[in-house]
Structure 1
Amino acid sequence: MRSDPDPVDARIGARLAELRAQHGWSLDELAERSEVSRSTLSRAERAEISATAAVLNRLCHVYGRTMSQLLSEVEAEPAPLVRAAEQQVWQDRASGFTRRSVSPPHSALRGELVEGRLTPGADIAYDRPPLPGLEQHLWVLGGTLDVTVGDTSHHLAAGDCLRMRVFGPTRFRSTGSAEARYVLAVVRP
């Protein structure tokens, strides 16, 4: 157990516990709905572990939120202008994924911008979208990225843009020797 949890992990954990309580679900019920172990859910809520991108994606699916929405809920009131130094950064160190919320979600808007970075060889698989029918536009800024949407794979290089509406599994793999860096425009259905 970590003696001094990361402040972002602590806020995420508290929000996850709050959402579960709002739905009136026990840890066992949430584990069944999300297909995440009870132990992992409990430890994430207490910020004993940093939830992985895959775990947060499953929980977002259960709660009907995008990951950006969940992360924005642990911030203060969103401002119309977000300076680079103030943009929330979240890391899944285990998978080599760094996510910057460039344009955080707002309740009056359906779109947001996210910067993603994957270390060479990083491989992230999501078994479902947080919201079925989520529209995404992925623009690669550097490196190479293999993206699989359902059964279709795409090899993307710097400058390429992949447009997709996500209903099933997706996978992002950094395939080159350099970090893959991309912008993801997310539009809620």
Structure 2
Amino acid sequence: MGDVSEGVAGPPAGSVEARLAGRLAELRSERGWSLEELADRSGVSRSTLSRVERAEMSPTAAMLGKLCTVYERTMSRLLSEVEREPPGPVPAGSQEVWTDAATGFVRRSVSPPHAGLRGEVMEGRLREGAVITYEAPPVPGLEHHVWVLDGAVEVTVGEKTHALGEGDCLRFRLWGPSGYRCPGPGAARYVVVAVLP
């Protein structure tokens, strides 16, 4: 579990990253888990979890994916829990943006989850050569629609990799590991629509 290098140092106070750190600490506390127990469940080291919960480092997409699986939440739902405003219209300027500096993944919550609604929309951006992987879905059977807006993205679902170009869309239900890679040339921008089963 030597994953200390998975994050980058110090989100500013009051930022979405700092609020996320607080929410992750709350979720663990709500379950009565020690850092050791969460480390065992997630595969993320105790020291890294401690630093993330104290907002001393920002989690990577892969690390958040592991924690979302343990807490049975989509990443969008987790990020919506740290939003300052209640759900409703989501102007472009107020959409939450989270960046994984280690991989070059930028995630914009275009239409965050809301109680009573089953779908959410997220925009992803990957720099050329960037790879993000998830060991398991946060919710088994989660429906995904991935639509590439610019560039190219390779989407791996289970053991199969799909090469998508501009305008292409991939639809699937997620039961196991997955990943996204930008083969280039240049960066990629895509939309993910996720629908709870």
1:76 Cα offset (Å)? 2.4
Distance 1:4 1:72, change over 3 A: closer
Match of 2:176 in 1: 168
Distance 1:2 1:116, change over 3 A: closer
Match of 1:103 in 2: 111
Alignment of 1:1-189 (within 5 A): 2=10, 4-5=12-13, 7-189=15-197
Is the contact made by 2:87 and 2:114 (CA closer than 8 Å) also made in structure 1? no
What is the percentage of aligned positions where both structures have the same residue? Answer: 60
Contiguous gaps of at least 5 residues in structure 1? none
Is the contact made by 1:60 and 1:67 (CA closer than 8 Å) also made in structure 2? yes
Distance 1:6 1:80, change over 3 A: closer
Is the contact made by 1:5 and 1:48 (CA closer than 8 Å) also made in structure 2? no
Q: Distance in 2 between matches of 1:25 and 1:106?
A: 27
Partner deviation per Cα, 1:118-144 (whole Å, 9 max, x = no partner): 001101111111111110000000100
Q: Distance in 2 between matches of 1:18 and 1:144?
A: 38
Query: What is the TM-score of this pair, normalised by structure 2?
Result: 0.93
Q: Distance in 2 between matches of 1:40 and 1:182?
A: 30
Query: What is the TM-score of this pair, normalised by structure 1?
Result: 0.96
Is the contact made by 1:78 and 1:106 (CA closer than 8 Å) also made in structure 2? no
Moved over 2 A (4+): 1-6, 76-79
2:61 counterpart letter in structure 1:
A
Q: Distance in 2 between matches of 1:113 and 1:152?
A: 24
1:5 Cα offset (Å)? 4.8
Contiguous gaps of at least 5 residues in structure 2? 1-8
**Partner of 1:22: helix, strand, or coil?**
helix
| Paired residues, number | 189
1:112 counterpart letter in structure 2:
E
Distance 1:2 1:79, change over 3 A: closer
